């Protein structure tokens, strides 16, 4: 199981890097421009992905965050991207340090908005990486609407081919 979760976390980091490259070039006013989606702008979507990765990683460390980290964020899009990439890298490092039995370990999680529940560590990791993939798809749609060209493919198959 460790190999699968490590690969999924590495893919997540790779895909976040691909999208980060195009959004770093986007002027701040465009990053904040309203686009119809789950979140009203590219920057807010990037912050949401970062929030989720931070929160899930903290939960896996046994911490229970009481609020979304982006609530206190005052930086620009480039700083949000840097934070997301650091957290994605931290996720890889964390997963690589675990032994195989960790992924079946159950955690009781207190969520910010939906109460508490018990979940296996591997399921939490899988959910978080899948969540990021879902919102990266939205970011690509937003990028098209904001006029960005030469958008990267962030499908896992391209990661696997690139990694060989």
- Report the distance separating Cα 77 and Cα 107, nearest Å: 33
* pLDDT score of 94: 98
Q: pLDDT value at position 138?
A: 96
Instruction: Give the residue from 121, 146, 110 showing the smallest Cα distance to 25.
Output: 146
**CA gap 90, 112 in Å, rounded:** 22
Contact between 22 and 123 under an 8 Å Cβ cutoff? The reply is no
pLDDT (tens digit, 9 = 90+) per residue, 92-119?
999 999 999 999 999 999 888 888 999 9
Rg over CA atoms, the chain = 16
Question: pTM value?
Answer: 0.95
CA-to-CA distance for 131 and 162, rounded, in angstroms? 22
Using the predicted structure, report yes or no on whether residue 28 has a pLDDT greater than 90.
yes
pLDDT in tens, 46-96: 999 999 999 999 999 999 888 888 999 999 999 999 999 999 999 999 999
Q: Which residues are within 8 A (CB) of 84 and not within 5 positions of it... i.e. 6 or more apart? A: 16, 20, 46, 49, 50, 53
Nearest to 27 by CA among 146, 152, 154, 141: 146
């Amino acid at each position: 199981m460790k190999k699968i979760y490590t690969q999924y976390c590495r893919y997540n980091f790779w895909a976040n890097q691909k999208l980060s490259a195009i959004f770093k070039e986007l002027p701040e006013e465009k990053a904040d421009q309203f686009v119809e989606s789950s979140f009203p702008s590219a920057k807010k979507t990037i912050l949401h992905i970062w929030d989720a990765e931070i929160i899930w990683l903290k939960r896996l460390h046994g911490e229970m965050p009481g609020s979304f980290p982006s609530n206190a964020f005052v930086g620009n899009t480039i700083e949000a991207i840097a934070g997301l990439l650091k957290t994605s890298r931290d996720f890889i490092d964390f997963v690589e340090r675990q032994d195989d039995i960790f992924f079946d370990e159950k955690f009781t999680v207190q969520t910010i908005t939906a109460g508490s529940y018990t979940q296996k560590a591997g399921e939490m990791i899988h959910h978080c990486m899948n969540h990021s993939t879902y919102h990266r798809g939205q970011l690509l749609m937003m990028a098209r609407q904001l006029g960005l060209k030469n958008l990267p493919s962030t499908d896992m198959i391209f990661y696997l081919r690139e990694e060989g």
